């Protein structure tokens, strides 16, 4: 029985009056009398949804969304509060998996805190579309760094080379009218150490997040961190340039770490405490290195060195917007009031930053270093 025929059967036989609800007894008999071509995990969830309903009814629309691979928050609450425990073995006990499926299972346990969500992701995962956003960003960053490294014949502390700061990609307060620089600075890096740190975290954390939550949500989070980073520097460190993708990287990392902490008991990633400590130490060390380069540059320079504020603003974006995104796996963000509060706050910050960049520099008499 194909899906369209099944939907028609459910509506005609179990909800002929189009009330929008189906009696539990009628649906149970449908499951027992007809072959449903669904994977076992989805069938278990259907039965759990039926048996957890206290009113003896199943919402027809919710049932259709589930069978169409769409999940709703009400369905998740029904599963979480249901009286029936899903009977299938947990993913770690499944054997005979291929290399790709084992990797998908690994990603599920790295990112998701609930066994029901992990099983849902494992059975619903498709290779198309692949997680290409983080990979493309990382490849472009490496290519740009290699080009400037060869051109300048310098692989560390490239910002001390005047030709580096002349790049049309670097954010410089003297060129803030060139709007693309508020984004394009993420492709430039101080040196090999910053590029290596950012690329490693992007691939280790960003790719699994993109596999689970999709390219749209993770790219939105990453770019929001990048934009917040340059705008924050333009407000709080008005004479400093910005380079590096740390705003986006810290948005991803902070969101993931906060999600792990808030769902500590449910996370099943191995050595999570040790890995949490190492991640915090590495991130703190990178911020400390950026502060040192900003205020105590080891070499003479013609102007201020890149600011560290992009790291901090990226972390704020991750803890606010990013945490909500990661906690809303397979749920609609548009239906959540907290999502619109965060969007409104970000837009307010964006408008304030725009007016600040237009008027504040002149009103405050800020002496901007001459643009290269």
Rg (CA), the chain: 25
What length does the chain have? 372
Give the Cα separation of 124 and 69 in Å (integer).
8
Q: How far apart are the first and last CA of the chain?
A: 69
Name which of 238, 244, 249, 248 is nearest 176 in CA terms.
238
Give the Cα separation of 359 and 364 in Å (integer).
9
Catalytic residue among 172, 189, 311, 320: 311
Q: Is 175 a catalytic residue?
A: no
**Any idea what DSSP says for residue 22?**
E
Q: Could you give the angle at the alpha carbon of 118 between the alpha carbons of 65 and 41, nearest 5°? A: 55
Q: Is 246 a catalytic residue?
A: yes
What torsion, rounded to 10 degrees, do the Cα atoms 353, 359, 361, 365 define?
-150
Give the Cα separation of 167 and 188 in Å (integer).
9
Catalytic residue among 230, 246, 254, 320: 246
Catalytic residue positions, numbered: 246, 311
């Amino acid at each position: 029985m194909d899906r369209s025929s099944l939907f028609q059967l459910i509506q005609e036989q179990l909800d002929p009056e189009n009330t929008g609800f189906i009696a539990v007894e009628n649906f149970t008999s449908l499951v027992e009398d007809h072959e449903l071509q669904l994977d076992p995990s989805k069938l278990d969830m259907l039965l759990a949804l039926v048996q957890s309903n206290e009113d003896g009814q199943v919402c027809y629309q919710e049932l259709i969304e589930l069978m169409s691979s769409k999940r709703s928050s009400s369905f998740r609450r029904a599963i979480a509060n249901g009286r029936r425990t899903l009977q299938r073995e947990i993913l770690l006990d499944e054997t005979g998996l291929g290399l790709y499926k084992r990797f998908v299972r690994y990603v599920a346990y790295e990112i998701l805190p609930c066994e029901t969500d992990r099983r849902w992701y494992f059975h619903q995962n498709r290779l198309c579309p692949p997680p290409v956003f983080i990979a493309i960003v990382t490849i472009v960053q490496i290519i740009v760094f290699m080009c400037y490294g060869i051109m300048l014949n310098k692989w560390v502390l490239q910002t001390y080379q005047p030709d580096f700061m002349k790049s049309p990609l670097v954010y410089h307060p003297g060129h803030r009218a060139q709007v693309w620089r508020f984004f394009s600075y993420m492709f430039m890096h101080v040196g090999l150490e910053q590029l290596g740190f950012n690329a490693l975290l992007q691939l280790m954390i960003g790719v699994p997040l993109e596999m689970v939550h999709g390219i749209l949500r993770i790219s939105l989070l990453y770019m929001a961190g990048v934009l917040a980073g340059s705008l924050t520097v333009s407000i709080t460190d008005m004479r400093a340039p910005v380079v590096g993708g740390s705003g986006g990287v810290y948005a991803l990392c902070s969101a993931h770490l906060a999600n792990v902490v808030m769902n500590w008991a449910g996370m099943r990633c191995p050595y999570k405490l040790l890995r949490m400590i190492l991640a915090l130490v590495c991130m703190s060390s990178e911020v400390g290195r950026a502060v040192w380069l900003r205020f105590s540059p080891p070499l003479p320079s013609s102007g201020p060195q890149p600011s560290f504020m992009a790291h901090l603003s990226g972390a704020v974006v991750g803890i606010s917007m990013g945490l909500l995104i990661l906690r809303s796996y397979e749920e609609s963000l548009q239906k959540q009031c907290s999502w619109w509060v965060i969007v409104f706050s970000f837009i307010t910050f964006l408008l304030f930053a725009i007016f600040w960049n237009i008027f504040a520099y002149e009103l405050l008499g800020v002496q901007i270093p001459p643009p290269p």
